[in-house]
Structure formats: structure tokens, C-alpha cells
């Protein structure tokens, strides 16, 4: 599945979340000026129309992993070095089972009519 990155002005983005009853918060990063410039440049490059499409993968290529990887690049791999080799013991399968548990509920004719 192809996804498309869109860069919006902060206030417009936050307003959308508010209007749809979803939450969003701003987190300020304590970056050196060179790291901030690298992050801004990488985000601008990713947001160009020719670079904005990406193959979505729930676990490895989504809106959260894109942010994580872009910040990590600006930090020279600092996030990855802190997180590599560390695990809570979860697997992709255990996460899939957790998310899919509602799939075992019986469906009514009403909720079957979505197709």
C-alpha cells in the first residue's frame, strides 16, 4: 500500500486533530543547531512531491517510524544506538495477536454490512 507524506503548517495540523477529536502535542527536541538544520533539510526533502510516496508497512514503515528514523539520522544514529539490542520480548506476532483479538468476536448482520 502506498502512503503519501504531507507537510502542513503546525497550526493547521493541530486544528485538524482538535476538530476530529484526536489529541496531538508538541515535543521540543534539544538539538544542536547543526542537528536541527539536518533534520529540517531531511524533512523538506522527504516532503517534496517526488519523494513523498512510500510503501506503508504497519510495523516498519509508518508515520511514527518515519519520524523516528528522520530524527535518528539527524542525531547521527543516536536513537538506534540507544535502542539496539534492547527488547521487551514482544514479537511482531504477539503484537498482531493483540491487535487482532477483536477478530474473534461474532459479527452481527448489521456489522457485516460494511462490505
Q: Which strand (E) or helix (H) includes residue 2?
A: strand 2-4
Average pLDDT over residues 106-111: 82
What DSSP string runs through 24-38? ---------HHHHHH
Q: Is the pLDDT of residue 115 over 70?
A: no
- Which pTM was predicted? 0.74
List the beta strands (DSSP E) in the chain. 2-4, 53-55
Q: Write the pLDDT tens digit of every residue in 30-87.
A: 999 999 999 999 999 999 999 999 999 998 999 899 999 999 999 999 999 988 887 8
Amino acid at each position: 500500500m502506498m502512503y503519501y507524506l504531507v507537510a502542513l503548517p503546525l497550526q493547521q495540523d493541530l486544528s485538524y486533530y482538535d476538530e476530529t477529536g484526536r489529541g496531538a502535542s508538541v515535543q521540543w527536541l534539544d538539538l544542536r543547531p547543526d542537528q536541527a538544520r539536518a533534520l529540517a533539510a531531511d524533512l523538506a526533502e522527504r516532503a517534496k512531491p517526488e519523494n513523498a510516496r512510500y510503501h506503508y508497512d504497519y510495523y516498519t514503515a509508518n508515520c511514527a517510524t518515519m519520524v523516528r528514523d528522520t530524527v535518528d539520522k539527524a542525531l547521527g544514529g543516536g536513537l538506534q544506538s540507544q535502542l539496539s539490542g534492547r527488547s521487551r520480548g514482544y514479537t511482531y506476532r504477539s503484537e498482531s495477536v493483540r491487535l487482532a483479538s477483536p477478530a474473534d468476536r461474532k459479527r452481527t448482520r448489521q456489522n457485516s454490512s460494511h462490505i
